[in-house]
A and B are shown apart, each in its own frame.
Chain A
Amino acid sequence: DIVMTQSPSSLAVSGGETVTINCKSSQSLLYSGNQKNYLAWNQQKPGQSPKLLIYWASTRQSGVPDRFIGSGSGTDFTLTISSVQAEDLAIYYCQQYYDTPLTFGSGTKLEIK
């Protein structure tokens, strides 16, 4: 199985700050046939189901604010949230879809000071 390791497990920031969340996979998620990274980011707000933010490592889902930026390739990926807002309070999960079983990271809990 592909193991997804996220860091940090939690962080607290003030509104307006920039946040960086890291995700590392145990094997490359870059498929040479199409040069795409099979990595998604999901956001789960308290009491809600997860919501897709980003796929192909850097493509924002429709309706997602442009302050959410995905980057990285191969085994190392980053979700950057610029100018954090109170509504961004959530747990963020990376997920690989390169191979089954599809696997998620353990999550990063974002708290707003």
Chain B
Amino acid sequence: EVKLLESGGGLVQPGGSLRLSCAASGFTFADFYMTWIRQSPGKAPEWLSFIRNKANSYTTEYNPSVKGRFTISRDDTQNVLYLQMNTLRAEDTAIYYCAKHGSHWYYFDYWGQGVMVTVSS
């Protein structure tokens, strides 16, 4: 059974930083592209970033809305996906999900349960 468990969320002040983690199990993590998505209350999901697998050189893509502030990375030895978030703003407040891609395509066949990030003073 595929499981994705996010952690690292919480309350942070504007301008602060946070690193989210996503522990994966139930599939061969190293083979798959992985993504971060967020969802503000009552809004549609917003894709943030994905990272390809080793076979595709761990290349990354970002939504322009977070490019330069957020960094995605992965540790295939520990089956963990990360999202480093810097210079956080109030509008970054949301539930953050990690998701597994369907093979090397860009749809998401499994989502985690999400972790809340609140940016407020």
Physical interaction between A and B: yes
Q: How far is the CA of A51 from the CA of B109 in the complex (A)?
A: 7
Residues of chain B touching chain A, judged by Cβ–Cβ distance below 8 Å, are: 35, 44-47, 50, 61, 63-65, 97, 102, 105-114
Q: Mark A72-107, 1 if CB is under 8 A from B, else 0.
A: 000000000000000000000101010011111111
Residues of chain A touching chain B, judged by Cβ–Cβ distance below 8 Å, are: 38, 40, 42, 48-52, 55, 61, 93, 95, 97, 100-107
> Secondary structure at chain A's binding surface: helix, strand, loop or mixed?
loop
A1 CB, min distance to chain B CBs, angstroms: 8
Residues of A within 8 A of B113 (CB): 48-49
Contact A38 B106 (CB under 8 A): yes
Contact B44 A104 (CB under 8 A): yes
Contact B44 A107 (CB under 8 A): yes
Contact B107 A93 (CB under 8 A): no
In the complex, besides A50-B111, A101-B65, A104-B44, 20 extra interface pairs with C-beta distance below 8 angstroms are A38-B105, A38-B106, A42-B108, A48-B113, A49-B97, A49-B114, A51-B111, A52-B110, A52-B111, A55-B102, A55-B107, A93-B45, A100-B106, A101-B63, A101-B64, A102-B47, A102-B50, A102-B63, A104-B45, A107-B44
